[in-house]
Amino acid sequence: MPLKISMISTSKPAESSSYLCTMRCVSVCVRGEWFRVPCSSPSASVQSLGSEALRRYHEAKKMDGRDRDMEFSMRRCWCGELLHPDDRTEDVLKDNDFVHLGKGLQLIPACSW
């Protein structure tokens, strides 16, 4: 009996479906509260990721405009590296990374699991 051979396509998926499959999500700690934040696009900046995490924090705590801090720094939990606000998230963060958001350039203690 002859063997049947099927051809498997090795072409890349369309750009839009590729993006949906690889959307990066990061867990961000803001003042002791953890938020799961998706990166808005592959070229999103660390600044935009932090701003979104801070917006979610303010929304969760029902803070009005005068209580909002908008100046912050971000550090990876693993090794405590300070992240530059202009860096692209795809260049400096991995999917499922853990990040601390702090005020200014304060030192943030390493995560304890």
Two structure tokens written together for 70: 């908008």
Domain 24-102 has CATH 3.40.190.10: no
Does 86 score more than 60 pLDDT?
Answer: yes
Residue 1 CA, distance from chain mean position: 54
Q: Determine contact, residues 84/105, Cβ cutoff 8 Å.
A: no
- According to DSSP, residue 87 is labeled S
The per-residue pLDDT for range 21-64, each reduced to its tens digit, is 457 899 999 989 999 999 888 789 999 999 999 999 989 988 76
- Pick 1 or 89 by higher pLDDT: 89
Integer distance in angstroms from the first to the last C-alpha of the chain? 58
CA distances to 26, 30, 39, 84, 100 from 97, rounded to whole Å, are: 5, 15, 12, 16, 10
> Within a 10 A sphere around the Cβ of 47, how many other Cβ atoms?
16
For residue 71, the model assigns a pLDDT of 79
Contact call for residues 97 and 27 (beta carbons, < 8 A): yes
Residue-range domain boundaries for the chain: 24-102
